[in-house]
Amino acid sequence: MIIFGKKITAENIKTLIRRMIFLSIGAFIAAFALECLLIPNKIVDGGVIGISMMTSFKTGLPLGYVIIALNFPFILMALKRLGKMFVFLTFFATIMLAVATEIVPVSLHHKELHNPFLACIFGGIALGIGVGTILRNHGSTDGTEMVAVSFARKTPFSVGEIIMFFNLFIFGAAGFVYRNPESALYSIVTYYITFKVIDMVLEGLNESKSIFIISDEWEKVGTEIMTMMDTSVTYIDAEGGYSGRKKRIVYCVISRLEIAKIKSLTKEIDPKAFIAIENVHEVEGVRVKKKHF
């Protein structure tokens, strides 16, 4: 049987169920942040959720209903661009968030934190964990990124710049809606904390780094890395821009804690080696041990 363009197997069903469970957990964590920390202190999030919070405040409509109503057009927009499975998981996450915003206030009655400073910090952390868990499991609860992608194709601005513009407008509007400039300032801080925590959730605590090493002693460097650090390497053929000489780049993925060790090891072999390090958001595949070489 084929659903969403994929053949259904026992493993696929397990994966889908696991993702739906984590989407639900993420939705309830996000709802806790909204209902118990941010909303009581008139602090908003960015994107559709932030607009939903202000709309709910002004109209008195339940937040969950507003989130579904405002996200629905973006979910339909994603159908053509991002596929049926993503749309299904996003719709499920949005529904779960809406349900959670109704359940959490009842189950945690009178548990709100009425302290804007603490709510700003811990609300951003909790919201980042919740939203990060949703994103990590291939779902979403915010349609502004899809709008930004569409605008970016027609304007000279990047997706990130467009999202930032949207959010600055939302945070500015929060100051007028709640008639309190501090709401806008706290919202900006909360958004920054949320953004950083989402990165941590997506990357994991063992953040990976990719490292490129350009050295005339590339073979010694590569062998030493495999021998001393139990890490596989890949050799990439390259050519010097000025010299025109053929070179080989040593490439590998390491943990954040291994950076100092690999830099020291490389410099001992070749003090003139060029080293470039980049963040890696996700790593998949089997790590090859040194015994294979």
High-pLDDT (> 90) share of the chain, %: 34
User: Is residue 7 domain-shared with residue 116, that is, in the same domain?
Assistant: yes
User: Is residue 11 domain-shared with residue 55, that is, in the same domain?
Assistant: yes
User: Is residue 175 domain-shared with residue 262, that is, in the same domain?
Assistant: no
Mean pLDDT score across all residues of the chain:
83
User: 203, 231, 265 — which closes off a domain?
Assistant: 203
Task: Determine the pLDDT at residue 30.
Answer: 93
The amino acid occupying position 244 is: G
Considering only CA atoms, which of 274, 247, 259 is closest in space to residue 210? Answer: 259
User: 203, 224, 253 — which closes off a domain?
Assistant: 203
For residues 94 and 75, give the distance between their C-alpha atoms in angstroms, rounded to a whole number. 10
User: Is residue 40 domain-shared with residue 118, that is, in the same domain?
Assistant: yes
For residues 114 and 132, give the distance between their C-alpha atoms in angstroms, rounded to a whole number. 25
Structural contact between residues 37 and 114, judged by C-beta atoms closer than 8 angstroms: no
User: 167, 188, 203 — which closes off a domain?
Assistant: 203
User: Is residue 9 domain-shared with residue 106, that is, in the same domain?
Assistant: yes
CB atoms under 10 Å from CB of 118, counted, come to 12
CATH number assigned to the domain comprising residue 275? 3.30.70.120
For residues 73 and 154, give the distance between their C-alpha atoms in angstroms, rounded to a whole number. 20
Count of structural domains, the chain = 2
Task: Determine the pLDDT at residue 15.
Answer: 84
Q: Distance between alpha carbon 113 and the CA centroid of its chain, in Å?
A: 26
CB atoms under 10 Å from CB of 151, counted, come to 16
CB atoms under 10 Å from CB of 57, counted, come to 17
Task: Determine the pLDDT at residue 62.
Answer: 92
Q: Which two tokens stand for residue 158?
A: 């990047």
High-pLDDT (> 70) share of the chain, %: 83
Q: How many helices (H) and strands (E) does the chain have?
A: 10, 6
For residues 203 and 97, give the distance between their C-alpha atoms in angstroms, rounded to a whole number. 23
User: Is residue 176 domain-shared with residue 231, that is, in the same domain?
Assistant: no
User: Is residue 7 domain-shared with residue 126, that is, in the same domain?
Assistant: yes
Domain that holds residue 128: 2-203
Task: Determine the pLDDT at residue 166.
Answer: 83
**φ and ψ of 69, to 5 deg:** -60, -40
pLDDT per residue as tens, the chain (293 positions): 455 555 667 777 888 899 999 999 999 999 999 999 999 999 998 888 999 999 999 999 999 999 999 988 887 877 766 667 878 888 899 999 999 999 988 777 667 788 899 999 999 999 999 988 988 888 887 777 666 666 666 777 665 667 778 888 888 898 888 888 888 899 999 989 988 888 788 766 556 788 999 998 999 999 988 888 778 899 999 888 888 888 889 999 887 768 888 888 899 999 989 999 987 766 666 554 444 43
H helix or E strand, kind and range, residue 159: helix 159-177
User: Is residue 168 domain-shared with residue 70, that is, in the same domain?
Assistant: yes
Q: Is the pTM of this model over 0.75?
A: no
User: Is residue 119 domain-shared with residue 78, that is, in the same domain?
Assistant: yes
User: Is residue 177 domain-shared with residue 129, that is, in the same domain?
Assistant: yes
Strands 246-255 and 208-214: antiparallel
What is the radius of gyration, based on Cα positions, of the chain? Answer: 24
DSSP state of 36: I
User: Is residue 172 domain-shared with residue 102, that is, in the same domain?
Assistant: yes
User: Is residue 177 domain-shared with residue 278, that is, in the same domain?
Assistant: no
Q: Which two tokens stand for residue 265?
A: 């090891």
